[in-house]
Amino acid sequence: MKPTIHTIYTACICLLSSMAMVSCGQDETAGSKETERNDVMQFRIAHPSQQQAAPASRATETDFETNDRIGLFVCGENEPLQVGGNYVNNASLTYNGTAWTPARPIYWNDGSYDVYAYYPYSSPVLSTDEMEFSVATDQSSTTIPNATDPNATGTADVLGGYEASDFLWASAKKQTAGNDAVALKFKHCMSKLTVRLIKGEDYEGDELPQDAEVFIHNTVPDATIDLSVGIATKTLYGTEATLKAKAAGNNRYTAIVVPQRITNRRPLVEVVMRGVSYLMESAFVFKPGMHHIVSLTITKNPEQVKIEIGGEIENWETTEES
């Protein structure tokens, strides 16, 4: 009987050992899934209007919207950003209403990384230190099909001329694998001009018409952008053009302008109202990331327009005067 008991005891030990091995295998599988989940890059994207880098909701004046896309580059820490050969090359991330996701998952590897992002997405990117970009000449339109051709027309469910002109940039340095998402706080690279129309005492009529047209003259709409630092530079030999501003309500009209210096006094802002043209001549410096406000008091005589140039305001989204 003893040998029989010994056999049964041995069988029980083998059975328990097998169960333990199965249990260990399940734990290892769960651990692998957890590791895989942690190895996927996650992103927290913030519009310039937001104080914290968190999921936001096409970039409007103060926010991103569903189906907006940003471009993403990832390279090793302190390595130069290039068109190709980076760890990640111009990946497209799309906002789905809750989070920003790439077309394919991006996985962490060993080491530390620098992350660069820009909006609106463009492909192909032929240079990372002199990426070509142009603001739309007609920013009053709401039918711009893509960022690569901001002066074309398309359907109403795509970027408007103003939105397609607002180039945004963000970076995050020394990023490593972990549970925390990469925080990307975007900033404006272009300059913004708001023209505010004020009814003068001798203006004929109770209120200013709401269908005025406002034009920004003698600025170069073309720029090159260094994606490693988020700096936009006016194209050196670019051709000057006229921009049509977007109506922003309350007798305000706004346009995105490439940062540049207009050194000589020349026609800059033109307001066309009821067949009458009001013209502002001035030298001007459009600074990157700055919001400039110009107030024009419309009088009976278009040659006696009162002009008031406001200060430079860095936070675009909190600068509208009452």
pLDDT digits (tens, 9 = 90+) for 215-273: 999 999 999 999 999 999 999 999 999 999 999 999 999 999 999 999 888 899 999 98
pLDDT at 144: 52
CA distances from 127 to 83, 217, 242 (A): 6, 29, 27
Q: How far apart are CA 216 and CA 244, in angstroms?
A: 6
Q: What residue type is assigned to position 147 of the chain?
A: A
Q: Are 109 and 76 in contact (CB under 8 A)?
A: no
Please enumerate in sequence order all residues whose Cβ is within 8 A of that of 116, keeping only pairs 6 or more positions apart, or say none. Answer: 72, 73, 74, 75, 81, 169, 170, 171, 227, 228
Confidence of residue 279 (pLDDT cuts 50, 70, 90): very high
Q: Are 257 and 284 in contact (CB under 8 A)?
A: no
Confidence of residue 206 (pLDDT cuts 50, 70, 90): confident
What is the average pLDDT across 115-124? 97
Is the predicted pLDDT of residue 149 greater than 80, yes or no? no
Side-chain half-sphere of 267: how many Cα atoms within 13 Å?
14
Topology match between the domains 43-188 and 191-315: yes
Q: Hey, which residues does 300 pair with through a beta bridge?
A: none
Q: How far apart are CA 171 and CA 56, in angstroms?
A: 17
Range 43-188 has CATH code 2.60.40.2620: yes
Q: How far apart are CA 167 and CA 221, in angstroms?
A: 12
pLDDT at 143: 58
Q: How far apart are CA 130 and CA 197, in angstroms?
A: 37
Range 191-315 has CATH code 2.60.40.2630: yes
Is the predicted pLDDT of residue 59 greater than 70, yes or no? no
pLDDT at 317: 60
Q: What is the pLDDT of residues 74-101, one digit of tens each?
A: 999 999 999 999 999 999 999 988 889 9
Is the predicted pLDDT of residue 137 greater than 80, yes or no? yes
Residue with tokens 């050992």: 17
HEC profile of 261-275: EEEEEEEEEEEEECC
pLDDT at 169: 98
What is the average pLDDT across 185-202? 93
Domain chopping of the chain, boundaries: 43-188, 191-315
What is the average pLDDT across 133-158? 64
Q: Hey, which residues does 262 pair with through a beta bridge?
A: 284
Q: Which two tokens stand for residue 241?
A: 């053009």
Q: What is the pLDDT of residues 13-43, one digit of tens each?
A: 444 444 444 333 333 333 344 444 568 999 9
Structure pTM?
Answer: 0.80
Q: How far apart are CA 49 and CA 186, in angstroms?
A: 9
Q: Are 117 and 184 in contact (CB under 8 A)?
A: yes
